[in-house]
Amino acid sequence: MKGALIGCGFFAQNQLHAWAEIEGAGIVALCDTDEARLSDTARRFGIERTYRDAAAMLDAEALDFVDIATTAPSHRPLVEMAAKKSLHVICQKPFAETMEDARAMVAAVDDAGRVVMVHENFRWQSPVRRAIDMVRGGAIGEPFFGRVSFRSGYDVFSGQPYLAEGERFIIEDLGIHILDIARAFFGDVDRLAATTRRVNPKIRGEDVATMLLSHASGVTSVIDCSYATKREPETFPQSLVEIDGTEGTLRLDAGYRLTIQAKGEESVVDVSPPLLSWAERPWHNIQESVRTIQQHFANCIAEGQEPETSGRDNLKTLALVEAAYRSAATGETVRPGEL
C-alpha cells in the first residue's frame, strides 16, 4: 500500500522510521505547510515527492492511505479530505477537539467504505501489551481493581512547545493514552470522576489529573497522571499498572518489571521493550509501539479487519477525556456514554 504522511514535525520522524520497516505498506509522499520541516524530513528519509498543500498532494498522487501526524486542530479537515478521495486513514491522537468532530470524521470514512484508525499506541507498548494479554488470558482471575499510573517530571515542552500553550494539557495529551490502557484492561466505562490541578506555573493547562472510573465489567480503576512529579528514578514514559483479580495480582513496576502472583506462585519477568536501531532511550518504549501499531494498521487493511484502536473505538476513549474535564470543572460524576 502506498501512503502519504501529512505533518513532518516532532513525532512524525518516529512514524517515518517505523514505516520503513512495515511489511505491506510504505510512504511515497510527504506534506507539510512548513517548507523547512518538509525539506529536512524529505532529505532524511529519501522521499522525493513533497507538497506544501495536502489537497494538492491528494489530487496528484495515487495513494491507498494517508498518515495524519499533525496536531488536533487540522485533523477533521484532513480526515474528511482523505475520505473524499476514498483513502484509508491513520490519524494521530487526540483524534479530534470535540466529540462532534470525531463522530463526523468516523462517519466520513465509513461512508467512503474505508478504514480509519487512531494512532493510539500506548496500549501497543510491548510491556503493557504483555500485561493486557495476561489479564485477558485469565492469569489473575476476574479483575476487580486496577490502577494505571503515569507520573513524571520529564521536560516534554522542549520537544513539543505547544503542550505548554493550550488551555488543556495532561488529560488531552497524555491521560488520553492512560485512559485508553484502562479501557484495554477493563472495558468500557459507566461513570467517571476527576480532579485536576496545575503545579508548573510556566504552562497554561493542568499538569496533574486523578480519575476514578467505574467500568461496566464491575472493575473500579484509578488513573493518575502527572508531569509535576520530581522523583528518581525518572520513569518517563512508563505506564505503571497494578491489578487485583479474584485469583491473584499483577504489577507492572518501574524498570519494566512484570510480577504476577496467583494460585500460590510468583513470576517476575523483565519485559523491557527492545531498542530498535533508530530508537533512543527513554523514548524507545513509545517508538517500538509506533512500529507495532502501524503494522497492525497495514495488517487490518490487508485482511479487511477493523483495527483495535479504530476511529469508532476511539470515540469511547475521547468521551473519557471529555468526561474528565467536565467532572473536574463541575465536581460531579459524569457518564461518558451521555456525551
Contact residues: ligand 89Y, CB under 6 A:
156, 160, 173-174, 177, 237
Q: Which three cell numbers stand for residue 39?
A: 525539506
Query: 3-state DSSP: the chain helix, strand, coil percent, rounded to 5?
Result: 40, 25, 35
Residue 119: name its binding partner from ligand NAD, ligand 89Y, none (Cβ under 5 to 8 Å by kind): ligand NAD
Residue 237: name its binding partner from ligand NAD, ligand 89Y, none (Cβ under 5 to 8 Å by kind): ligand 89Y
Residue 156: name its binding partner from ligand NAD, ligand 89Y, none (Cβ under 5 to 8 Å by kind): ligand 89Y
Q: Which three cell numbers stand for residue 114?
A: 474505508
Within 8 A by CB and 6+ apart from 31, the residues are 4, 5, 6, 7, 8, 38, 50, 51, 52, 53, 54, 57
Distance in angstroms (rounded) separating the CA atoms of residues 227 and 234: 11
Dihedral angle over CA of 67, 12, 99, 79, nearest 10: -30
Beta strand extents in 198-315 (DSSP E only) = 208-215, 220-226, 240-245, 248-253, 257-262, 265-270
Taking the least distance from each CB to ligand NAD, the nearer of 176 and 319 is 176
Give me the sign of the Cα torsion angle 138, 147, 178, 103.
positive
Least Å distance, CB 300 to ligand NAD, is 18
Least Å distance, CB 113 to ligand NAD, is 25
Q: Is 7 in the site for ligand NAD (CB under 6 A)?
A: yes
Least Å distance, CB 152 to ligand 89Y, is 9
Q: Is 286 in the site for ligand NAD (CB under 6 A)?
A: yes
Looking only at residues 208 through 267 of this chain, which bind ligand NAD when binding is defined by CB under 6 A? none
Distance in angstroms (rounded) separating the CA atoms of residues 15 and 294: 8
Least Å distance, CB 205 to ligand NAD, is 13
Q: Which residue among 4, 5, 12, 108 contacts ligand NAD (CB under 6 A)?
A: 12
Q: Is 54 in the site for ligand NAD (CB under 6 A)?
A: yes
Name the residues that contact ligand NAD, by CB under 6 A: 6-12, 31-34, 37, 54, 69-72, 74, 92-93, 119, 121, 160, 162, 173, 286
